[in-house]
Structure 1
């Protein structure tokens, strides 16, 4: 059995508010008496893609075992590489593969520099196929920032991942793909993509409101939340959501 904590959209900037909300979530995860096999952060780690923001992110991530992350549309590939990965600055997509227990996590870069919507570049899809081939029969999670489906939230749907038919055609050829995990929407959501579970992590820095709830797009006062994904020995995936209120 593998237990994962999944958060997204921490948007660390020069304001203490973003740091406090992210710290609240990570402190909660670090205090859990049970073992987490990994923590996933699916994009928008920094708010403006500045080196000093990534320095704060690196401090926040320190002490977290098996912390996996990928860029979002607010991230900048150069500073991201330099500060978080210890690499030379480059504008190439940031794609990384990790193995946690028996499972493989393909952390894909769905960002388009200078734009808010998402797209998996051809080189990213080629890289993902190589990961799927190398995984053999191991269960694989495909992870990125932008949802590749409509969530029926007009603001988010306008900046979703495009070209998703290419991704669907790829992953349907590999039956060991367990689920697609993403962020970007600033609200927890569950759907399907290419016949697989599509699970969207709740946002940490803020919550996007549903159009039938209010005329406001974003609520800054809703407490942050986290998703817990459990992959059992029969490869059944179960997800729980937990709101992180002060004091937890």
Structure 2
């Protein structure tokens, strides 16, 4: 099983630069141009922040772009699995992407969809014996993530029956963090509850995004991969307590089932402006960001 893992496309409602001067649509196009030679891809995953402001036009643009890429460049009706991130809006997401589990031709392929009073977007599909479960860690109006009790109970029920080749979980907010203030503040708030829900189950890997840089770690015994962002990446060579974002679209290839799996490989688009600073926050600005985006804050 070869999974092309993207995250944080942050597509705008129009094909124009965002407030930081980055054209997210162009970043995605540059990345896909360099990924067109990949072969044997079985599934594409987009782990949240699909749209920058929840606009239906942005979801449509991503759906059409990835469908064309799968059909014309990768050469098949490859399924694309989307999950929600903190920038996404559930109603618009569902209107355009349905369950979030689509074949490249646009057909909704979900086998099971969570029926939630909060309209959470969680679903299940199987590809060649591998079960893909997308979860919804979005907390409306907040940057951090949370998986509610009802969703975790639903997940337990799904995992009660093992998949033929195992399960892949996909959601936005990582349940692991480096010793970085923004990561500690903005990651998944209840990783221990998730660990309890999947303990002893057939989960092969957890695929997430949100941090705009690659990290590998474990949630107890389960491998967790954080793929870097498409729209930009975070550069951790800055002084402690500061933050810098730079240009450069990235994605990952996840390989399951081999003797050395799971394996994770990162791709970086050939961008003539790669590594240019998009924004930089000093210690005071970083503290202010964390305070402002904490409980009760507006959308990021």
Q: Is the structural similarity TM-score above 0.5?
A: yes
Distance in 2 between the 1:69 and 1:203 partners? 14
Distance in 2 between the 1:59 and 1:228 partners? 21
1:167 Cα deviation after fit: 0.8
Instruction: Tell whether 2:79 aligns with 1:66.
Output: yes
Query: Partner residue of 1:238?
Result: 263
1:183 Cα deviation after fit: 0.4
1:173 Cα deviation after fit: 2.6
Aligned to 2:228, the other structure's residue is in SS state: coil
Aligned length: 241
Structure 1 length as normaliser, TM-score?
0.89
- 1:172 pairs with one of 182, 199, 203: 199
Distance in 1 between the 2:9 and 2:239 partners? 23
Report the CA distance shift for 1:72/1:41 in structure 2 as closer, same or farther (over 3 A): same
1:227 Cα deviation after fit: 1.0
Q: Which range is displaced more, 223-232 or 199-208? A: 223-232
Instruction: Tell whether 2:2 aligns with 1:3.
Output: yes
Query: Partner residue of 1:43?
Result: 48
1:215 Cα deviation after fit: 7.2
Query: Partner residue of 1:20?
Result: 26
Distance in 1 between the 2:224 and 2:43 partners? 19
Larger Rg: 2
Alignment of 1:1-248 (within 5 A): 2-13=1-12, 14=14, 15-16=16-17, 17-29=23-35, 31-63=36-68, 64=70, 65-85=78-98, 91-174=118-201, 176-210=202-236, 212=238, 217-221=243-247, 223-234=248-259, 236-246=261-271
Query: Partner residue of 2:289?
Result: none
Distance in 2 between the 1:4 and 1:48 partners? 27
Aligned to 1:62, the other structure's residue is in SS state: helix
For the 8 Å contact 1:117–1:160, the answer to whether it is kept is: yes
Distance in 2 between the 1:154 and 1:91 partners? 30
Aligned-CA RMSD value: 2.2
Q: Which range is displaced more, 114-123 or 132-141? A: 132-141
Structure 2 length as normaliser, TM-score?
0.74
Unaligned runs of 5+ in 1: none
Distance in 1 between the 2:163 and 2:127 partners? 15
Aligned to 1:117, the other structure's residue is in SS state: coil
Q: Which range is displaced more, 137-146 or 178-187? A: 137-146
